Structure formats: structure tokens, C-alpha cells
Amino acid sequence: MTRSLRAAQGVIALCLVLSGCSSDTGSPSPTTAAATGATPVQMARTGGPRRHVIVLKDGSSADLTSAVQQLGGKVKRSDSQIGVVTVEGLSDASIATLRKRTDVQGIDADVTVQWIKPWSAQGARVVHLSHIDQSGAAAFDSYQWNLKVIQADKAWLASREGKGTTVCVLDTGIDPNHIELQGRVDLSRTVSFVADEAATADLDGHGTFVSTIISSNGIVTASVAPKANLCMVKVLDQTGSGSFADIISGIVYATDAGADVINMSLGAYFSRREPGAMELIRALQRAVNYASRRGVVVVASAGNDGINLNRDPKSYISVPAELDHVISVGATAPVGQVNFDAIASYSNFGASGVDVFAPGGDFVEGSVEQDLILSACSSAIIYFTGCEGGDGYLIGAGTSFAAPEVSAQASILESQFPGNQSDEFITFCIQKTAENPNGRRRDRLYDYGRINVFKSLSCGWGS
């Protein structure tokens, strides 16, 4: 690598983990994935006070506060920018009354979903720094094959490295005191939508891991866009669960807070026939549309169900990956440091549901530790020991870790080209300059292919 990676003093904790965007525990090979896809997630009501999401008709600016209070409830949150209102404490009779209003398009119970897997303890272990080959004076260089594959190291020298841009990460929180993240997090725009959990207390660790791939201090781990600013919008709790309403509000908040890019390394696979599902998904689409209209690039992980989305039933949908105006990112990985552009065993794939691919790591028969992705470990994580000092690191695999590479690429492109670029232009550049392992311009499995950050710097509408 061109960028120097200085080894931290003392012991560096490396825990082997698997993380991503699926409730399914299986990771079928892309060549054998069942055409019917994975079992869709069953929605569950939110805990605590009963909540509902009200979607107003397009163009309505109604204030429902008084009406909801008269019916015995209260407005929890109003995202008037998109005509979505979250309410609490209403009875079924009250809900039926609200449905009759001429300005209400739909209303359904908010639900909590397991958007990311819990960190798996299988194979977890601490690796001491002395056990790592430090030849070449680049700490963990062999663990950061992902940055070289997408030519991020070349882009560092030829770009503004994301300077002046902000990437808001919707996730489990962030550890701003980790040595890689000190000074990288805009705390004034960091917020939590999760009750009783601060945004800066990343008890799960997923958000810290994802964020450090985007931007870091380069002390031990390099990042794709080291000069980009980060903001954390906490929408998932310490179990990786979160409600639709919180994610919807998180997108609106990040957009209004001035995000250039929104990263969502989260997702779930739903049946469109699930009661109440489509109204909630429509509300989420409204939030994404709002971000898109404001020029925000929205990136999401494609999911870890290992299914061919070209052949999954039309009644199923991967959310948010398959929403409009979202760049859906699948994962590639080598096995034994060979064939770096192979689709990872767990990754969803297929041009109908995945736009581009980026390195996400893998751990299957024949894999070595270096085939996974390296990033920072939150000092507040409750699943492993060795991260308490704010200088710990994890290795893992998942489409969750491919998405932030694309978000960082979008940040670099936004920084590189003068003026506030539209999300269509940034998406065009990312897709047009991706490299397809099968040699085709577009491919049924890879769609546009694996991203190339350096190549995208020369992008233009006429290129």
C-alpha cells in the first residue's frame, strides 16, 4: 500500500466474526442458491408503547397532533418532509377513526426487525500483534487486500480523499474515542433514535466497524476516504434490531443534517404479502426519495442470504437494497487469497437486485484469516474481550462491510467534482467504472461489476 500504516504499540485484539444483513443462518454458494430464495423475515411489533406509522396522502401537510391527542394517543415523531407521522398509544378503534380521514393514505403498526446478525462467537479469538508478519513496514497490509483490489490506495494520491464531505452511517452507534476515529466523527450531527442507548455507545460494535472502513486515522487500518467526515445516526440497538419508523426518521434526519452519502449496512428479506409490510416499505421509500431529491447518495448492503435475486419470487423484496434510488452492494472475497473477485459464499447476487460489488471477505473451507475484512472494534462492545482500550480490531465478513467501501467511493467523487453533484451522477460514475469479472459490460450475476475507486476519478457524463 502507498499509505503508511503505523503499527500501534502493545496488543491488538483481532476477533474472527461474521456479520451482515440477514436473519438466515445459512450461507449457500452462489452456484447452488435455491431459486425460491431465503425465508422472509417475520415482522414483530415494537416493544414498549404501541406505535403506528401514518402515511399521509401526497401533498398533504396536515398536522395530526390534535386529532391524535383527542383519540388518546400522542405524536412520537413527525417527518412532515415526507408526510409520515409516528404515533403511540392508540387503540384499534382510534386507528380505524384515523384511517377514515381524507388526508390519510395508510396506517400500520410499526415493527421491529433484526436488520443485522448478532456477532457470531464461532471461531472468535485474540491475535497478538507479534503473531502478524510485519514485513514491508505496513501493519496489517495483508489483511487489507480489499483496499488494493478496489484501488483505493491509488485514489488516495489522486483525489481529495473525501475532504469536505459527510457520510452518515445508519447503524448501531459509533465509538468516537477509538484511536482510528478520534477527530473523524461530527458529534454535532450524531444522534440516536434508539431509546436508552446513546449514539456514542456502540454496544454491538457493528457501526464502529462499518464507519472505520469509510474514514479512519490510518494508525493501524487504512480507510477508503480518510478525509471524509462521519456522522452516526443510531437506528439499531445492541442486538442489531430496529424499527421501520426509526430508520425512516434516520434517513430524513441525515438528509436534513447535510449528509452527502447515507450508508445502510443493514437489511432484511420480506414477503410483500406480510400484513402491513407494504405500507411500511412505501414509507421507507418516501424517505429514500427525499434523500435522493436532495442529492444524497444512498448505499445499502445487498444481504447475506446467498440467493440469486434474478430468480427469487416477485412477492419477496430485500429492503432497503431493492428500493429505488439505492445503490445495492454485494460482496466479493478470495479463498486462500486467490480469485479476489469471486462472489462471496453468503452474498446475494443477480442484476435484478444488486448493482455493484465490493470486497466483503469470506470464511469457508480453504479460507485464511487474511480473506476477511479488518476494521476497528468499539470499546463498548459487549460480545468480546480485548476491545476495551479503544485500540482493538476485528476481522469479519459480510455485505455490511462491502457497502461502506461504495459509500466512501461516493464521498470521494462528491469531493472530487466541483459543485454539489446529484446522486444520479455519482451513481453513474460508480457503475460505469466498475470492472466486471466476466468481461461483460453488464452481467446477470454481477450487474455492473466490482467497484474501482481510482478509475472512477476520471468519470464524466461523456466518458
d(CA 94, CA 190): 35
Catalytic residues: 171, 206, 400
Q: At what angle do helices 403-416 and 423-432 cross, to 10 degrees?
A: 120
pLDDT by residue, tens only, the chain of 463 residues: 332 222 232 334 444 444 444 433 223 333 323 333 466 655 555 555 689 999 999 888 889 999 999 999 999 999 999 999 999 999 999 999 999 999 999 999 999 999 998 775 333 333 434 444 433 334 567 789 999 999 999 999 999 999 999 999 999 999 999 999 999 999 999 999 999 999 999 999 999 999 999 999 998 889 999 999 999 999 999 999 999 999 999 999 999 999 999 999 999 999 988 888 889 999 999 999 999 999 999 999 999 999 999 998 989 999 999 999 999 999 999 999 999 999 999 999 999 999 999 999 998 899 998 899 989 999 999 887 778 888 888 888 999 999 999 999 999 999 998 777 899 999 999 999 999 988 878 899 999 999 999 999 998 654 4
> Please, is 387 exposed, middle or buried when counting C-beta atoms within 10 Å of its C-beta (0-12, 13-18, 19+)?
buried
Phi-psi region of 281 (alpha: psi -120 to 50; beta: other; left: phi over 0): alpha
State the Rg of the chain over Cα: 21
Count other Cβ atoms within 10 Å, centred on residue 42: 13
* Distance between start and end Cα atoms, the chain: 28
Triad 181, 182, 185: Cα angle to 5°: 70
Among 262, 202, 259, which Cα is nearest to 234's? 202
CA distances from 204 to 19, 322, 405 (A): 11, 26, 20
H helix runs in 202-332, sequence order: 206-214, 244-256, 277-293
d(CA 195, CA 207): 17
Report pLDDT for 8.
30
Report pLDDT for 38.
60
d(CA 306, CA 422): 32
| Grid cell digits, residue 327 | 445503490
Domains and CATH numbers, the chain: 14-24+115-456 (3.40.50.200), 47-109 (3.30.70.80)
